Structure 1
Amino acid sequence: MIDPITEIENFNFDDWLFAVKEGELKEIEICENTQNPIFSAFFNIMIKDFYKYIKIENILNQLQEQYNELIKLSKKDNEQITKNLQKQIYFTKTLRIYVTEIQKQAEYLRFFLHLQKQVNSKKIK
């Protein structure tokens, strides 16, 4: 059996995140590739949040494109453009708050893994 601590220490988060963004990994693959229940639980949560984050990131990019388009059209119908901009600002702020919450949750999970590693290392000694 693979040592859970070694498994976590050797895991490449950047490669994993890139694979998730590219749609190459699914939740089931993460579970099959680890024998550590804490590690599995961590990724079950993280992969869902990263998918949410990627969707939000795409929405923010679309909003930015719409905003740029509205700036180009701003000389035509200022009242309608102002209303559209107000809606976009509201949605953008809401999405950014959500992204911040996901980032906080990811930090909490990383901290949890750090604590779990410390607990396990003390049990081994």
Structure 2
Amino acid sequence: MKHGKEIIFYIIVIILVFIVIISVLRCRNTLGSLEQAFNDLQSAKDSIARIEQQFDKTGKIVRGLRGQLEIEQENYNKLEQNNKRLEAEYIKQREIYKEFRITNKSSQEAVSTISKLVEQSRIILKELLSECEVAEN
């Protein structure tokens, strides 16, 4: 019987060894999976850090563009003001030109009238000169 108990004991020990070996192999597989999961998490962390850096760069670019847009808006506003001043100046110049044309036309008419009067005066003076010469003779 003692021999039978030893065989049963060895069988139990062999079964326990197999169970331990299977458990160790499972633990190794689980450990490998955990290592892979850790590596994946580390990779994800690195990716997140790169994305955050890109967001920072993008934010700086957006802030720079916003500042540039504000400058361009100020320049546009200045150009609009200059344009309004130029339009007002153009209207003034156009009015001055209209007045000048009216004055110029009046001046031309006055010169024409004076020329006619001078011509009439010349004719009258010639007639008077002729009459004076006739009276002298």
Q: Which structure's relative contact order is higher, taking Cα pairs within 8 Å and 6+ residues apart?
A: 1
Same fold (TM over 0.5): no
Q: Indicate the structure with greater helix content.
A: 2
When normalised by structure 1's length, the TM-score is 0.38
